[in-house]
């Protein structure tokens, strides 16, 4: 396995240290930063996030981090968004109010219409045509969200079901990928998923 230099983009929202610890445990190097030089020199970027969409986007724009991220994405930099970080990849969100996102993966973030919150461990089923990731029977990961990423089937990497309703739990477009669940809080299975995605994105 090649050791990758991974930047966790710090936009002032969320629990970055858990993501950093997961990356380090997997044998890669991690840096929590918003320094453009660090971001540009990394192999892969992580957009983490716990919190509300408008505040996160506001922070990203105020720092000018949005422009750097969009530039890097265009150049082919691998980017993984986690939870709120995945939602920031969309065109827009309706959390509290209509707010533009980074627009890296076509889609809109809307409230889950069938449940107030989706909190806890639930199955994630990856699309076998889009990833070689194979999970065992117990493929539960940890979710904690109340909004979902609505996108076209072309960009759906994984789906989950809650109370009989299917929603998108992972998205992917070229070099950009998003996970609605928290791999860094999903114990063994989360580490396995994350490690696989890093390798798959880098080998694509």
Partner 1 sequence: MLKKRFVAVVTIKNSHAVQSFGYNKYLPLGKPDVIVKNLDRWGVDEIILQCIDRTSSNLGPDFEVLNKISKIGISTPIIYGGGIRNAVDAAKVVSKGADRILLDALLYSPKNEIEIIADKLGVQAIMANIPIRQDGEDYLALNYQTKIESQFNKFISNIPLHWISEVLITDWCNEGKKESFNIKLLEISDLIEKPLIFFGGISSILTINKILNNFKTVGFGIGNFLNYHENAVQKLKLNISNQVIRPQYFHNKEY
Tell me which H or E stretch contains 70: helix 65-74
Q: Which of 18, 58, 92, 127 binds partner 1 (CB under 8 A)?
A: 18
* Annotated catalytic residue within 83, 118, 155, 177: 83
- The torsion angles phi and psi of 11, rounded to 5 degrees, stand at -120, 25
The answer to whether 182 is a known catalytic residue is yes
Instruction: Count the site residues for partner 1 by CB under 8 A.
Output: 44
**Chain residues 178-197 in contact with partner 1, contact rule CB under 8 A:** 182, 184-188, 190-192, 195
Footprint (CB under 8 A) of partner 1, residues 40-79: 50-52, 55
Rounded CA separation 80/100 (Å): 19
Shortest reach from residue 156's CB to partner 1, in Å: 19
| Residue selected from 8, 22, 80, 148 as contacting partner 1 according to rule CB under 8 A | 22
Strand runs (DSSP E) across the chain, as ranges?
5-9, 29-33, 44-47, 78-82, 92-93, 99-100, 108-111, 118-123, 125-126, 140-145, 147-150, 156-162, 165-173, 176-179
110: tokens are 């809307």
What is the Cα 121 distance to its own chain's centre? 17
Show the binding pattern over residues 148-177: x = contacts partner 1 (CB under 8 A), - = does not: -------------xxx--------------
- Which residues of the chain form contacts with partner 1 (CB under 8 A)? 14-18, 21-22, 24-26, 50-52, 55, 84, 95-96, 116-123, 138, 140, 142, 144-146, 161-163, 182, 184-188, 190-192, 195
């Amino acid at each position: 396995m090649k050791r990758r230099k991974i930047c966790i983009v710090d936009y002032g929202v969320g629990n970055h240290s858990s993501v950093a610890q997961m990356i380090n445990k997997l044998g890669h190097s991690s840096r929590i930063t918003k320094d453009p030089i660090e971001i540009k020199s990394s192999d892969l970027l992580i957009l983490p996030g716990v919190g509300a969409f408008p505040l996160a986007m506001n922070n990203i724009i105020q720092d000018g981090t949005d422009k750097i991220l969009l530039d890097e994405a265009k150049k082919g930099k691998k980017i993984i968004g986690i939870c709120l970080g995945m939602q920031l990849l969309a065109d827009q969100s309706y959390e509290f109010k209509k707010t533009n996102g980074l627009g890296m993966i076509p889609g809109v973030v809307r409230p889950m219409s069938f449940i107030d919150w989706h909190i806890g461990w639930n199955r994630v089923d990856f699309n076998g045509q889009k990833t070689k990731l194979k999970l065992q029977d117990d493929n539960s990961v940890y979710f904690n969200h109340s909004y979902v990423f609505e996108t076209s089937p072309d960009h759906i990497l994984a789906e989950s079901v809650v109370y009989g309703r299917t929603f998108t739990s992972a998205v992917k477009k070229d070099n950009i990928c998003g996970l609605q669940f928290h791999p860094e809080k999903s114990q063994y299975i989360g580490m396995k998923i994350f490690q696989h995605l890093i390798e798959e994105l880098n080998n694509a």
